[in-house]
Amino acid sequence: MTEITPTNAAQDRAVLFADISGSTRLYEILGDARALATINGCLDILQSLTQEHHGRVVKTIGDEIMAIFPDADTAVQTACEMQLAVTNMPPVDKIHVAIRIGFHCGPVIENKEDGDVFGDTVNTAARMANIAKGGQIITSAMSVNRLPRVMRASARSLDALTVKGKAEDIEVFEIIWQESSEMTMMSGRTQSLPAVHAALRLVHGADEFILDAERPFVMIGRDAQADIVIQDRMASRAHAKIERRRDKFVFIDQSTNGSYITINGENEIQLRREELLLRGSGRVSFGHSYSKDPSEILEFYCGY
C-alpha cells in the first residue's frame, strides 16, 4: 500500500478517465495483434492530447488512461478533442473505435514519489466514466458549475443518480462534445458570431421532413406517436431520434437491434445505444443491415 506523506497536501484538480469502448469485441474480431495495435494507437492519441493541453497522464490501465488537469475547462476542451480525434480515425475492418470519458473536479492528494493521485475526486471521476457510453463525455454538476458560462451551455443534465460510496445522489451531466468543441474555441472571442441556419432533409417513403431551428428534432420508431413511423418489425417502438445541435445534426440510437447508417461513399456503420454525427448524405436502415432488407429506409441530406 502506498504511504502518503504529510507533505502531499490536497490540491484542486480535474481528474479524467478515458477508455476504449468495446475493446473486448476488437480482440474477438481483429485478433490479439491487430486489436492491440489499434488500442495502442488510440491511447497514443489520448496521451498526446493530454500533454498538448498541459495535463498529465497519471497512468494507463489496459485500454484506459487516467489524467489530471489544472481546471474543469481544460479537461472539457481536451475531452472534446479526444472524442473528435477518435471519431476521425479510419475504421479497422469496418469497425469504428469509440471512447467513453468521465471526469470530476475537486481536491486530490498527489504522491510526490510516483505521481499517483488519490481521494474522493478520483473515485467520483471513475464513476462518471463507468456511467458513460461510447462517444459520451460524462461529468458532475459540481464540475459543470466550474466551467465558463459559454462552455456550460454545452452541458445537458441527465439525471440525479445514486453513485456507490456517496451518501447523496449526484446530478450527472453529459457534455455535448460536437457543440462543446466549438464552444471552447469561441470562449475567447469578444464579438458575437452570426447565426448559423443549418437544415437537414429527411425522406421516408413519400414523406419529407425538414429539421432546422424551428423544428430541431424528430422521434423515429414503430410507435404510432413517433414523428417518423417505421413499419419494419425489427425496429423498436422508440427506436431513435435526430436532433439539431447548433449547426450539426446527430443521430441517437435508442433501440434493441440497432441502426445501420451508410454515409454515401463510406461503409455501413452499426449503432446500438450510440450517437453519430450525420454528414453529407446517406441512408438509415432500422434493426438490420440495408443488405438484408432494403425495402424501408430513411434518407438524409445535410445542408440541402
Looking up residue 101, the CATH number of its domain turns out to be: 3.30.70.1230
| 167 and 28 in a common domain | yes
Single out the residue in 122, 156, 186 at which a domain terminates. 186
Q: How far apart are CA 39 and CA 64, in angstroms?
A: 9
CB atoms within 10 A of CB 139: 31
Q: Where are the beta strands (DSSP E) in 39-179?
A: 56-61, 64-69, 98-110, 117-118, 137-140, 155-161, 170-175
Do 229 and 256 fall within a single domain? yes
Q: Is residue 3 part of a domain?
A: no
User: What CATH number is associated with residue 269?
Assistant: 2.60.200.20
Check whether 207 has a pLDDT greater than 80: yes
**Residues 149 and 209 both lie in one domain:** no
Per cent of the chain over pLDDT 90 is 49
| Whole-angstrom distance, CA of residue 269 vs CA of residue 258 | 10
Q: Is the pLDDT of residue 295 over 50?
A: yes
What's the structural domain count of the chain?
2
DSSP codes joined into one string, 41-68: HHHHHHHHHHHHTT-EEEEEETTEEEEE
Q: Say what the pLDDT of residue 7 is.
A: 42
Distance CA 155, CA 70 (A): 20
Q: Is the pLDDT of residue 28 over 70?
A: yes
Which among 162, 186, 210 is the end of a domain? 186
Residues 108 and 207 in one domain: no
Under the banding of pLDDT at 50, 70 and 90, the label for residue 192 is very low
Strand-pair partners of 211:
200
**Residue 1 maps to a domain:** no
Does residue 195 lie in a domain region? no
Q: Is residue 263 part of a domain?
A: yes
My answer on whether 222 and 90 are in the same domain is no
Element (H, E) at 202: strand 200-204
Q: Which domain holds residue 82?
A: 11-186
Same domain, 21 and 118: yes
Residue 190, pLDDT > 50, answer: no
Verify that 175 and 29 share a domain, yes or no. Answer: yes
The answer to whether position 192 is within a domain reads no
Q: At 34, phi and psi to the nearest 5?
A: -70, -35
pLDDT level of residue 97 (50, 70, 90 thresholds)? confident
Residues 84 and 174 in one domain: yes
In terms of average pLDDT, the best of 87-101, 123-137, 228-242 is: 228-242
- Residues 114-146 pLDDT 10s: 889 989 999 999 999 988 888 899 999 999 999
Same domain, 256 and 205: yes
- The pTM (predicted TM-score) of the whole model is 0.59
Q: Which of 125, 155, 186 is the last residue of a domain?
A: 186
Which pLDDT score is estimated for 2? 39
Residue 4 lies in a domain: no
At residue 292's C-alpha, the angle toward residues 287 and 298, to 5°, is: 55
Instruction: Label the pairing between strands 137-140 and 64-69.
Output: unpaired
CB atoms inside a 10 Å sphere around CB 193: 8
Contact between residue 129 and residue 79 where contact means Cβ atoms under 8 Å apart: no
Q: Are the C-beta atoms of 67 and 58 separated by less than 8 Å?
A: yes
pLDDT tens-digit series, residues 263-280:
998 899 999 888 888 989
Query: Does 154 fall in a domain?
Result: yes
**Within this chain, do residues 127 and 269 fall inside the same structural domain, yes or no?**
no
Contacts of 7 (CB under 8 A, 6+ apart): 112
Question: Where does residue 16 fall: left (phi above 0), alpha (psi -120 to 50 degrees), or beta otherwise?
Answer: beta
Is residue 54 located within the same domain as residue 174? yes
Does the pLDDT at position 193 exceed 50?
no
Residue 6: inside a domain: no
Q: Are 299 and 282 spatial neighbours (Cβ–Cβ below 8 Å)?
A: yes
Q: Are residues 206 and 99 in the same domain?
A: no
